[in-house]
Amino acid sequence: LAKRYVRRSCVCGIGVCNEPSMSIPAKLLAKYYERAVQTVRQAGMRAGEVAVLLPIFSEIRTSEFMDIWEASYPRYEDCVFDFHLRQSFGTYWSMKTLERHMEAAAARATLLKSIPMCCVGEWSLALPSRAIVGCDKQELRGIYERFARLQLEAFETATHGWFFWSWKSSAGLPWSLRDLLRKRVLAVPSHGRL
């Protein structure tokens, strides 16, 4: 892939995989990442022109990866840790109250500031049904507006920005950036990267 697109000036980043399994040991995944970075660079995609995205995927694995990478990370120029920070899947998120979801969204700024180079490769406004049960349309709109604002404030601290889940999605409003912008539920910060 790197060889195929090396001459394309529109390519500014390349991901080496998507959402690796939590069952893969971090040391093994880190070795794969090291080889992937070398492969991308040897294909002619230079640091400063093309960032290499290395998925940590879930914030649960952050310390595990940072312990491994801190020793050798500086030699890998323009490598970016990719986080997928959704709060809608799994028991951990489904058990949280709405207020705990809001607190978690705001707290992610601390996480992102602690990583040398990072991006939020996927996020949405989707919340587990337990957190929004009983809300009418007006209440739900207010919840989404607040959730969007808190997440964007946090995600703007990522060195390489953020990417919403999808421009257009039939999965519903919280998954469709186009619809959220059209309905003015989500507003990109004035200094934002959209």
What is the average per-residue pLDDT within 9-36?
A: 93
**Could you tell me the CA-to-CA distances from 172 to 59, 100, 107, 175 in Å, in that order?**
25, 23, 26, 6
Q: What is the pLDDT of residue 191?
A: 65
Angle between helices 62-69 and 26-42 (to 10 degrees): 60
Q: What percent of the chain has pLDDT over 90?
A: 80
Q: What is the pLDDT of residue 98?
A: 97
What is the average per-residue pLDDT within 21-34?
A: 92
Residue 76 has pLDDT above 80, yes or no: no
17 closest CA partner among 64, 55, 47: 55
Q: What are the phi and psi torsion angles at 91 (to 5°)?
A: -60, -40
Residue 158 has pLDDT above 90, yes or no: yes
Q: Tell me the CB-side half-sphere exposure of residue 52, using CA atoms within 13 A.
A: 26
Q: What is the pLDDT of residue 66?
A: 85
Q: What is the pLDDT of residue 69?
A: 79
Q: What are the phi and psi torsion angles at 78 (to 5°)?
A: 60, 40
Residues paired with 119 in a beta bridge:
82
Residue 74 has pLDDT above 70, yes or no: no
Residue 194 has pLDDT above 80, yes or no: no
What is the average per-residue pLDDT within 127-135?
A: 95
Angle between helices 137-155 and 98-113 (to 10 degrees): 10
Asked if residues 48 and 78 have their Cβ atoms less than 8 Å apart, the reply is: yes
In the numeric block, which tokens belong to residue 159? Answer: 């060195």
Q: What is the pLDDT of residue 192?
A: 57
Residues paired with 83 in a beta bridge:
57, 120
Q: What is the pLDDT of residue 189?
A: 73
Confidence of residue 163 (pLDDT cuts 50, 70, 90): very high
Q: What is the pLDDT of residue 2?
A: 93
Which residue has tokens 């059209």? 182
Q: What is the pLDDT of residue 70?
A: 77
In the numeric block, which tokens belong to residue 193? Answer: 């990267």
As a whole number of angstroms, the distance between CA 178 and CA 38 comes to 37
Residue 193 has pLDDT above 60, yes or no: no
Residue 8 has pLDDT above 90, yes or no: yes
